[in-house]
Structure 1
Amino acid sequence: MNPGGNKRKPPLDPASVLGPTVGGHGPVAIVRDLARELLQQGRITLDEAGRIDGALRDHDWPTVRTYVDLGLARRPVAKAAPDNGAATTPAPGAGPTASAPSREPPAEDQVLIAGLLRMVMRLCDALPKLVLNDRSFVERFAPIRALLTARLTPERLGEAEARIAAVIDQQIEMQRDLEDARSSLKDMLTMVVDRLGSIGNTTARFQQRISGYQEELGGQPDVLVVARVVGGLLADTKLVSEEIEKSQQDLADARRKVESYELRVRSLEHELAQTARMVQNDPLTHALNRRGLEEVFRIEVSRSSRYRVPLTVVMIDLDDFKSINDSLGHAAGDRALVHFVTTAQACLRSTELIARTGGEEFVVVFPATGAADCVDAIRRLQRELERSGFQYEGQSRVMTFSGGAAAWREGESLAQILRRADTAMYEAKNGGKDRVVIAG
């Protein structure tokens, strides 16, 4: 019993803190990945990780920045096994356990720490200004996140920093331009309405003056009264005419400006639509990415159902790709991926689209093609890839791949058909590689 009524706060569960973001590929997911890595390295405590997690959910960017900066400033903790087998728990707020401090991090690690710190500061400063529910904007961070989750080098970190800066700057500029154009358009329309109102007021006053003149002329006016009425009528008529002419000119100018702003708004909206289309392509190989594949599959399934034509999907995995990275370096690996996609696009028909779904994994969609015919096409690609070879800085490598083909079944989702194609592809791998197997 606790007579005071104060309940102790339950201990944090390490598995639930900084867990994966559902459907998250954007800037928040990048910061979450980094904080999770800091927790694993012992640079932040579980309590601090919980604070970061809560701040990310609440979009409390200053708090996120404070604790991530704190973790990056600390050294990783080498976890030593306790003598009596009992786990030690750091006091809240005391920072990571310092029982086994590490040596001064090497120069490359110091460069990485400084770069990560700059990146977090840039993200936390920019996030309050951005529209986080803009799907096209969030998805543009997917390749950046993939870059950061690979083996981190100063070069890769520099590329990630440059990409983040470009995405953020472009999004902020486009949002600002679009809001400025819409605001200017609103101001111009307000002026037009005000001008129309002023014309109505002028003509109303004119009608009142005319009524007054009619009353003066209704009796037995003398010559002086008639002369005064005529003079006033001429002056008022001239004034109304000038007001109407000025209003017409102002309205014509306003119309031209409104048309100009409408064109600007449409242009900016077109740019945003183009940006959304750009996120359907893999930035390295320019093949489709996962989002692009989902869109193509949706269209082709609809066509296949409507016209009762076959649809086949082939899962491809490059054989022994790791050996290229290990022997020639990651830059060579990137070039090899580009070489494969270029060769595939040259061999395939324009309607047969290729998407990159993982490091060295690809999917080819064959509309209106049965499994047997698409296997023939894939084997032609295998022969061409082996014939052309891969050259990098004077060194040559023969590239091969294994494939699994699956014919679409009515009602089958993309995840389901890819699962069958993936099983067939691994069957080809286990059967000796450089083969294609049709899924059952």
Structure 2
Amino acid sequence: MHTQAQISTPSAQPSVWQSYASIVLLLGGIIVGSAIGFIFGAKVESFKFIGDIFLNLLFTAIIPLVFFTIASSIANLQRNERLGKLFGLVSLVFLMTVIVSGLVMYVVMLCFPIADDNSLRAMASQALLDNPNASLHQASTSITQVLTVNDFFELMARKNMLALILVSLMVGFATLRAGEKGQAFAQFLNSGNEVMKQLLAMIMTLAPLGLGAYFAYQVGVFGPQLLGVYLHPLALYYVACTVYFFVGFSAYAYLAAGRLGFQHFWRNNLTPSLTAVGTCSSIATIPANLNAAEILHIPPHIRNIVIPLGAPIHKDGSSMSSIIKLALLFAMFGKDFSAPSLFLAIMGITIIVSVVEGGIPNGGYIGEVFAITVFGFPMEQALPVAMVIGTLVDPIATLLNANGDLVSAMMVTRLAEGKDWLKKALSTP
């Protein structure tokens, strides 16, 4: 991982190959894997275990990394810092970008509405539910389940990521409150944070092979479905997300630090973007985002809070996917998606679902059940369609979710440190 001294000192600049070797290898693995999936189709499913091994190693290390990153960051803050203001700024930026992304997708669906398709209804009635635990009972109890656990060891499960973050914040604040007596524990948190970052660096050396196998599986197994009845909504979604990714994120980066912010953001977000698309997981992208945020000179007390906190609760892509799912279900069951009276309900559900959905591959079943229940769609028909759409849009949705955390960290820095924060950081030796 680069240090600020290495970045700002010309003599310490790495060679072109040193700078781009990991990216070239990652791209090579993804391209080769995609080609294998396209050529051999579903036969590549037998290679999926390679990608699963990589992801399992990655997820095993992610949980302690999130704990040590957040807890150590809070513990190292000075007690006179305005923590409340920082969290307020983070909440403001997260909410703003989620609303903007949802509005963009809503306008797209109004301009290019999805027509009623009987084949979709037939597919919905025949689809099998892969998640037997998705139920109305779960939807009614999801708030408690998402925010808390009833045993310490359950914090180690990825499904309880929000509960882990809540406890990590509390541990950090408790260490801060302990003052001098808590310094030894604060040092332990700092050491644990560094050890977990090194472990992640070791695991990421397997990324070209692991992500290559994962891409082969996605292209080989799910690719043919893109040519079916989902083509229209999927095309709208991918085009809208692509435009939002380049135009919207460029605007955010410019607002955060002007032209300098625009240039540095696009110069340093390729690895996080590829990791997000390859893993379909915002949580798995945390290490790449933290590294990019450090290179972008985002202060540690901001990047170590915004990025781990944003992974499970800040989801521009999920906001947009919620809109497309609802539009498709409205078309299936002959309801008017453009009715003005439903606008606030649609946007409200979109915000809630974006927060509820966890940062795991093909997640969000609880959020889908919640949305379907609120609008009164038949669960047996609506849930399979929402699940299929959720799976097919997962790569680019995760790209927006994860990369949105990085650009949000820049905007929080702009609000907390002033408009010239990046210029000052780059001029400091």
Same fold by TM-score greater than 0.5: no
TM-score (structure 2 length as normaliser): 0.23
More helix per residue: 1 or 2? 2
Highest CA radius of gyration, 1 or 2? Answer: 1
More strand per residue: 1 or 2? 1
* Larger RCO, structure (CA 8 Å, separation 6 or more): 2
TM-score (structure 1 length as normaliser): 0.23
